[in-house]
Structure 1
Amino acid sequence: MYLDQVNATGGDDTCEDVFSALEIIPQLSWSNPNHIIIHICDAPYHEKSYHKLQGPDADKYAKGDPKNRELSKLLLYIKRLKITYCTIQLNESTKMMFDEFAFIYGTISEMHVKDPAALMKNICITTSSCILSGIESTMSSFRTSDKTIKPYIMLNEEPYWDDFEAHTVHTIEIMYPNTMNDIFQPLFVGKGSGQIKIAPHPFTKGSLRFAFYGQFSSDGCDLVDVVFKEFISSDPRGNSLQVYQEHLEIQVIAQFLADKFNTELTTTFRTPTYIIYADADIVQQKNDTTKIYQVERRFHQAWQKWTNNSGGVSVAEYSTILQAFSHWTHNITAGRLMVVDLQGVRSEGAYLLTDPAIHCDNILRFKHTRTNLGVKGMDSFFRIHICSEVCSKLKLPVQQFPSGSDEIYQILESIDKLDCETIECEPTMLYKDD
């Protein structure tokens, strides 16, 4: 047989160069519109985040790919080719790797072949299932979600707080970065204690969280009026302390970048409109650790949402300063991240914002929040973004639409003049032709 004549050389460790195999996929020629790959493996990819192997001969490149190649970008590129990814895992050592792959890629189908004699039959069954699934998905233009939300009743009236008992809580804060390099690493966490009073019912609901009236005290200070935010999903995985900490870390990074942005505005414009992110903490009840909230100051102005994290922009409340801020964050970080999902209130001389999202070139960053859309999310922003004179004054480079985009965005009528008194320029209409 052919394999009897093959001699294995090199290696010296258990892990394999999976990247070199995967990078061949985009070069393949496909003769059929249904694209399927079957990944057969018995060892994981190099880098300790993809396996739990121990010992000196387990992984010679435990710190990562020796050629500094980025696996997440390669997987996203393969995904954009609309290839169905299937695996045959010959042992348990590859499970952790494919769990990480699936977070980036989405669904990865595993073919179970405990009986080698049934190998071809199982491959045919799985392949047929993948093809039928693809056909069904293309025939339907609707998306459904099985996400269940907590069964709260909305009550808009603020309670009479003297009737409420105060709960003792652990407090958690994410420490403010010292340098730009700090934002690309996990930030430090500080802990303390405090007391809260919280309404039994939320007064409003967003796409991710309920908002409750409440009062909060930390370090022995007096109780102050605040808003407590709790995730709407009833899935315990979406309500863990880790999820709350990642969302708070995003807000602290956005706050850090907004402060840098404001400094640049001050040196560029005479009367700038600043961007200010609300200070926030996490509280966890000591007598019921499942009760976790993000706590912020209470805004009394009308709430507005200017952008989301998938390229959407409010036409009625279009703001060139906020558009420029997202563009600026992408530029100042050399394309490594972008602050999006800009929402909050407008006050005199400032936007007071909260609950941002951040797209990172590292798709695994903030993975528990499920709001980091990576480079694809940044591309979605630039597809609709139109540089104003704010961007020009800040010397931000004009980004071209990604090649092959069939989306056309136009300013039908705009007022985009910047005088020495203000940097707020409001196009009267932004139209998306879809």
Structure 2
Amino acid sequence: MTTDNRIDFDPAGQAAAVTNAILADLTSTAHRAVVVDSPPGAGKSTLVVRAAGDLAAGGERPMIVAQTNNQVDDLITRLGQAHPDIAIGRLSANDYTASPAIDSTCTVRQKLTDLAACKIIVGTSAKWATVTDSRFGWAILDEAYQMRSDKLLQIVERFERGLFVGDPGQLDPFTVADTDRWIGLPHDPTQNGVAVMLEHNRNTPLHELPVSWRLPASAAPTIREAFYPRSNFTSGTPEGTRSLQFRTTGFGAVELDETLAMAAATGWALHELPRRHVPRTDTETVQITADLAARLLDRGAVAFCERHPDGRELHASDIAIGVAHRDQADLVRLALARTNNPAARQIAVDNANKLQGREFEVVIVLHPLSGRRDATSFHLEAGRLCVLTSRHRQACIVVARKGITDLLDSHPSTEPVHLSVPAKFPDGWQSNQAIMAKLAKHCPTA
């Protein structure tokens, strides 16, 4: 397997070669679709923006499909920066209010006919599903693995050929409806759009972006082993390029500082609390999670990297806290407000669904299995843990009560086996074991 510190390390060259092959497939008429798998931080949005520009320059008028309004706004910002000479349209719902930055970058309208002058049109899959009277030569589907197949079916008549770009290792499409009635059926609407499209178009070209520009060399091999075992992506930066230092010496919070020192030295840290079965709103775990984040700010953490070789002091916007449940996020925000650092209130706190696609310098994770008596399918889900542990550029700190490995070892598989449903690989049990094996080597209190 490829390593991240090899002598012929040329991530930019590898990424450029794959990107050129993808763009070449866009000019070919041999296939109706192209699929691009993107590991965390591999430049998925950059590819979408470049492909849209190339298609527009070639006389096409591509439609871009994203899954949320935030994703649409992010793409429009990137498109405006990369292609200031191309007219961009945003197809929006009636209740959408554009920010001044978006309003100045593109034309925002509720009807497709009002965007006739635009060469690239971006909208959510839900909004595109309301369009019934137009057809495009190309569609670019961003976060395609997070798009349910029923959503794809609603818009597939709107385009002739599609570029499907997404991360196969993260959260599956979400629905609040009971889905048991459809599992294993060929028309299961809860399958992701890419899986269904590939099932019916088996000769579709499949590419993989080979470099994660987000994950440091300390993290890429671990994330690859835990969540992408069939992949071979590498970190875009060699060992030693990124590091964390502190402007002040630790005093008065020994355990917190030992954890931060471990994270700064190795890129990973596990802060373990005593073994105990607790509710998911465990106040002790929540407060420790908040205290670690505030301590990063108190100590004046400075990040060194390829972007800032002379170092840059971290701000609250550079730090995120990831949890499994929304009520945990609410409690962490309250705990941050109780710390002595007012800036800590600006730290991003959210569940995996909301953090997906975002990037930070340091991420602190409240482990989904911490303090639990059981390991449910929700808390074991590989995609959830993948999102939480792959948002960082410098370090990931995991907070948990002792006993997770024992819980995994004693957890019997109680999930029903369904015919015609491929087994997930790796499954959540394997992914959690791989991450805990890594973290066991980075626990200062072990």
Greater Cα radius of gyration, structure 1 or 2: 1
TM-score for the superposition, normalised by structure 1: 0.22
Q: Higher strand fraction: Structure 1 or Structure 2?
A: 1
Q: Which has the higher contact order (CA 8 A, sep 6+)?
A: 2
Q: Higher helix fraction: Structure 1 or Structure 2?
A: 2
